[in-house]
Structure 1
Amino acid sequence: MKKRLFPSIAILTLSLLAGCSKPSEPPVAEPVARVSTAPAVRGDLPLNVIGYGTVQFDPSRQQVLTTQIESRVAETLVQPGATVDAGSPLLRLAPSSASSLDLTQALADAAGARDELARQQRLRADGLASDGDVERAQTSANDLTARANTLSRNIGDVRTLSAQSSGVVDAVLVSPGDVVPAGSPLVRLSEPDAIQARINFELEDATRLASGDVVHLTGLDGGTHLTDAAIATIDLRVDPATRMTSIIVPLPPGNGFLAGEAVRATAVGDTKSQVILTPRSAVFTDEQGDYVFIDQQGKAERRRVESGETNGDLTEIVSGVSEGEQVVIKGGAILSDGMKLTSGDTATGQAVNPEAPK
C-alpha cells in the first residue's frame, strides 16, 4: 500500500508546480523605424566656386581734379562720400611762394621768345634765315606766352576748385596746409551708379571662370542686397599679400549696393553631367567610409558607397547606388541593417533634381 502512495504524491506535486508557474510571454515586436525616402536621380551637378570682395567705384568713370600750378591747400570744403552737383566748391587753393617765382620765370621766357621771333624775322628779311626758322620761333613764342598767361590767371588771391560735373566724392587726396606740385591729384569724383565688385578667388577657382559668366552677389554688411551680374574682367595676377586673384563684376544701377560694402560671390565653375545624385542628408560616414540606407521592400539595407562632389543639398554618388533606388533621407541616424521601415514621406524624383544653387 505504501508503494502505491509514492507515485500519487509525485503526480500531485508536479500538478501543483505546473499550476503555480507563470504563463509564457508573447514574442517581442520587431522595431519599425519611420523614415523619409527619395529616389536617386541622374542629372547635372553644378560645381560652385565662392569668393569674397568689396564694392568700389568704377575707376574708368572717375574724374580726378588737379591743379595747374604749385599751390597751398587753404581749406577743404567737402568730405569723402558727399554728393555734389556741377559747380559745387570742393577746395580753396592759394598760390605757393614758388608759384611767384615760376611766373617771373615764365614771363621772362615769353619775353625772350618774342625777342627771338623778332630777330628771326629780321634775319629772314635779310635772307639770312629760313621760313622754318621763323615758324619755330613763332611756335616757341606762342607756347611760352600762353604758359605765362595761364600762370598769371592762376596766381593771385585764394581761388576755389569746383566740381565739373555731379557725382560722389570718392576721395579728398590733400589736407589744409599741404603744398602740392602742379598736376597733383586733389579730389576724386565718381558717378553714383558706376560701381563694380572686385571679388577675390583662389587661382584654381578663377581659372574655371570666363568673362560673361553670371555671378550671384550677396551683401554681407547687414543688408539684404542680392543681384546677378556678369563678369567683365578676370585678373589672373596673384596678389602677393593674399595669394589670390580677382574678377571685376560691374553692378547694375539701383541694386542697393554701396561703395565699400563687403560682398559674397557665387558662380558656377564647372558642371558634372548626368551623374547619380542623392540628397546630402542621405550620406553617412564612419571610419570605413561613406554609406547610405536603401529601402529594400520595407527593410533598411546599409550599403557602402563612393561619394563624389557635393553642392548645396546634393551629393554625387560615384558607385553603390543605382538610379531610382529609394535612399533614406530622414531618420537614417537611428537605423541598423535589416531594420523594418515605414515611410512617412517619400519624395519624387523632381524634389532632388539639381539646380545651380545661389
Structure 2
Amino acid sequence: MRLMYLCSAVLLSSLSACGKAPLDTVIEPTALVSIGVVELGDIASIVPSFGVVEYDPQFLHNINSEIEAHVTDLQVQAGSSVKKGQVLLKLKPSESAKIDIERARRDASTARANAARVRRLKDDGLASNADIEQARSQAEDMQSLADSLQQRSNTLSEVRSPEDAIIESILVESGGIVAPGSTLLRLSIGPHLRARLNLELEDAAVIELGSPVRLNGLDNSGLSIESNLTAKDQRVDPATRMVTAYAELPPHSTLLSGQAVRAEITTLVHSKVPLIPVNSVFYDERGQYVFISENDTAVLRRVTTGVSNKSTIEVTTGLTAGERIIVDAAAVLTDGMKTRLKDVLAEPQQ
C-alpha cells in the first residue's frame, strides 16, 4: 500500500513538470520597415533667399521741372503703360517763376543798354576793346538766360513721355507746386525688371555671379521664373546685417514690380554621388549613422554626408551605390534588430 502511494506521487510530479513552459523563453522583437536602395545621382547646393521685384535703375528716366510751377492736371497713374509723346501731366508757371522771367528780361535789357554805353565810351576814347567785349558777353549771357526761362515756361504746359514706358512712380500731386529741378515722374523705359535679394553673410560668401536662380512668388500664385545672379553688393547693410544681390528677370516676366519673391540660388552641383533620403540619417554623440538591411537584420553603419535638399542628402563616406538602406522606422531600431518589410505582398491564393 505504501509503495502504491509513492508511485502515485512520482507520477503526479512528472505530469506536473511536463505541463510547465520554460521560464527563460524570450520573444525577439521585430520591426516593420521599408527598404530603399542607395542610388547615384546629381544634387545641387541651394541657398534660400527672399526679396522683392523692382524696376532696373539702369532703365529709369526722371522727368524734372525746369522752373517752379503748379501741377494743373495729372493724367497718368503709377504702374500704367504710356506711349511715346503721350501727355503725362500739365503745368503752368508759378507766380514766382513769372517774376523770375520778368527779372531776367529786365536784366537782359539793362545789359544791352550797358553794352551800347560802353561802345560810345570807346568812341570817345574812354573805354577799351576789352571793356566792349566784356559788356557784349554779359549782355549775351543775360539774354540767353531770359530766352531759356521763357522757352521752358512755354514748353511747360504739357509734359510728354519721351519713349514708350511704364510709370514707375509719381512724385507730385495735382494742384501742388514743384520747385525748380525737382523730379515729377520716374519712368521705366521698357519692362526691365530685376529681383533684389537679401543674403546672409555666410551665404553671400559662397555665391558667385552667374549662379542659377529660381524665383517664386510669395502670393501662392504658383509663378516661377528661372534667372541668374547678375550683381552682388560688396557692402553689408548696417541695419539688416545682410548683403544685397540682384537677378535680372527675362522680358515679359509674369512677376510684377513690388511683388515679394522667394529665391533658390544654386551654388554648386555634385554629380553622380550616392544619395539617400534625408530622414534615413540619424545623429548621436559620435556623429551620423544609418541602418542598412542585411539578412532581415538592421545593421548600424557610420556615415558622413555632404550637400542636401528638402528630401535628399549626399553620402560622402560609408555607403556605396546599390546597398539596401532602411528608410523609415529607423528611430526605433537598434543595431542587430530583426526586421520585416512593411510592403511584402501576400502570396496569391490558388
Q: Whole-Å Cα distance in 1 between the matches of residues 331 and 204 of structure 2?
A: 38
- Say whether the 8 Å CA contact 1:120–1:129 is kept in structure 2: no
**Aligned pair partner of 1:327 in 297, 310, 325:** 325
Structure 1 counterpart of 2:259: 261
77 and 45 in structure 1: CA distance in 2 versus 1, 3 angstrom threshold: same
Q: Which amino acid aligns with 1:295?
A: S
Q: Which amino acid aligns with 2:4?
A: L
Q: Which stretch shows the higher mean deviation, 177-186 or 274-283?
A: 274-283
- Say whether the 8 Å CA contact 2:298–2:336 is kept in structure 1: yes
- Per the alignment, in what secondary structure is the counterpart of residue 186 of structure 2? strand
- Say whether the 8 Å CA contact 2:70–2:175 is kept in structure 1: yes
- Say whether the 8 Å CA contact 1:196–1:250 is kept in structure 2: yes
Q: Whole-Å Cα distance in 2 between the matches of residues 77 and 13 of structure 1?
A: 114
200 and 137 in structure 1: CA distance in 2 versus 1, 3 angstrom threshold: farther
| Cα distance per residue 1:227-273 (max 9 Å; x no partner) | 22122221121112211111122111122010001111121234568
| Cα distance per residue 1:54-86 (max 9 Å; x no partner) | 111111212211111111223433221222223
- Say whether the 8 Å CA contact 1:35–1:332 is kept in structure 2: no
- Per the alignment, in what secondary structure is the counterpart of residue 257 of structure 2? coil
Q: Which amino acid aligns with 2:100?
A: D
Q: Whole-Å Cα distance in 1 between the matches of residues 123 and 243 of structure 2?
A: 64
Q: Which amino acid aligns with 1:92?
A: K
- Per the alignment, in what secondary structure is the counterpart of residue 244 of structure 2? strand
Gaps of 5+ in 1: 346-358
Structure 1 counterpart of 2:129: 129
| Cα distance per residue 1:305-343 (max 9 Å; x no partner) | 444443333334455445553322233234332233355
**Aligned pair partner of 1:55 in 39, 53, 56:** 53
1:141 to partner: Cα distance: 3.9
Q: Which stretch shows the higher mean deviation, 50-59 or 330-339?
A: 330-339
Q: Which amino acid aligns with 2:30?
A: P
304 and 105 in structure 1: CA distance in 2 versus 1, 3 angstrom threshold: same
Structure 2 counterpart of 1:243: 241
- Say whether the 8 Å CA contact 2:38–2:274 is kept in structure 1: no
Structure 2 counterpart of 1:356: none
- Say whether the 8 Å CA contact 1:40–1:327 is kept in structure 2: no
Q: Does 1:74 align with 2:78?
A: no
Q: TM-score, normalization: structure 1?
A: 0.79
**Aligned pair partner of 1:195 in 193, 197, 206:** 193
Q: Which amino acid aligns with 1:129?
A: N
- Per the alignment, in what secondary structure is the counterpart of residue 176 of structure 1? coil
Structure 2 counterpart of 1:38: 37
- Say whether the 8 Å CA contact 1:276–1:318 is kept in structure 2: yes
Q: Whole-Å Cα distance in 2 between the matches of residues 209 and 30 of structure 1?
A: 50
| Paired residues for 1:1-358 under 5 Å | 2-10=1-9, 13=12, 21=19, 31=30, 33-39=32-38, 41=40, 45-118=43-116, 123=122, 128-129=128-129, 134=133, 140-155=138-153, 159-270=157-268, 277-286=275-284, 289-322=287-320, 324-342=322-340
Q: Whole-Å Cα distance in 1 between the matches of residues 243 and 17 of structure 2?
A: 88
18 and 209 in structure 1: CA distance in 2 versus 1, 3 angstrom threshold: closer
- Say whether the 8 Å CA contact 2:53–2:260 is kept in structure 1: yes
Q: Whole-Å Cα distance in 2 between the matches of residues 148 and 163 of structure 1?
A: 26
Q: Which amino acid aligns with 1:299?
A: T
- Say whether the 8 Å CA contact 2:163–2:189 is kept in structure 1: no
Structure 1 counterpart of 2:346: none
Q: Whole-Å Cα distance in 2 between the matches of residues 66 and 229 of structure 1?
A: 34
- Say whether the 8 Å CA contact 2:30–2:340 is kept in structure 1: no
Q: Whole-Å Cα distance in 1 between the matches of residues 65 and 274 of structure 2?
A: 66
17 and 98 in structure 1: CA distance in 2 versus 1, 3 angstrom threshold: closer
276 and 13 in structure 1: CA distance in 2 versus 1, 3 angstrom threshold: closer
- Say whether the 8 Å CA contact 1:226–1:255 is kept in structure 2: no
- Say whether the 8 Å CA contact 1:89–1:160 is kept in structure 2: yes
Q: Whole-Å Cα distance in 2 between the matches of residues 32 and 249 of structure 1?
A: 50
1:301 to partner: Cα distance: 0.6
1:158 to partner: Cα distance: 8.4
- Count matched residues: 341
Gaps of 5+ in 2: 344-350
- Per the alignment, in what secondary structure is the counterpart of residue 55 of structure 1? strand
Q: Whole-Å Cα distance in 2 between the matches of residues 125 and 312 of structure 1?
A: 96
| Cα distance per residue 1:87-121 (max 9 Å; x no partner) | 33322322222112211221123223434554666
24 and 187 in structure 1: CA distance in 2 versus 1, 3 angstrom threshold: same
Q: Whole-Å Cα distance in 2 between the matches of residues 321 and 215 of structure 1?
A: 31
- Say whether the 8 Å CA contact 1:279–1:315 is kept in structure 2: yes
Q: Whole-Å Cα distance in 2 between the matches of residues 4 and 228 of structure 1?
A: 101
Q: Which amino acid aligns with 2:186?
A: R
